[in-house]
Amino acid sequence: MERLRTLAGWMPAVILPAATLDQLVTILRSGSVVNLSAVTWLLFLLANLGALFLGRPESRLAVIQMGLAFGLTALLDVAIVGVIIAFGA
């Protein structure tokens, strides 16, 4: 059961930043922010920060997992919002 719990903790730690990074790379490669909303990505940023600060990890491993899942994703959200604003201007 502990292995399953550990695996479950790594899933968002890998998937959330990977999906966000993929979006950022797609934007940068295309050079276009058509149909992207800075407000939506700002809301994602706020949600990730909320999850990061409200979480109560029970171990050092959980702290790392939360940092990757929500902290790294929040940083990537900031980059996406910045790129949307820069490309949209």
Q: What is this structure's pTM?
A: 0.92
Give the DSSP letter of residue 34: T
Sequence-separated (6 or more) residues with CB below 8 Å from residue 69: 12, 13, 16, 17, 51
- Measured N-to-C along each axis, helices 2-30 and 73-88 cross at an angle, to the nearest 10 degrees, of 10
State the Cα–Cα distance between residues 13 and 16, nearest whole angstrom. 6
Element (H, E) at 71: none
**What's the rounded mean pLDDT across residues 36-57?**
96
Give the residue with greater pLDDT, 2 vs 76.
76
The mean pLDDT of 5-30, rounded to a whole number, is 96
pLDDT band at 88 (very low <50, low <70, confident <90, very high): confident
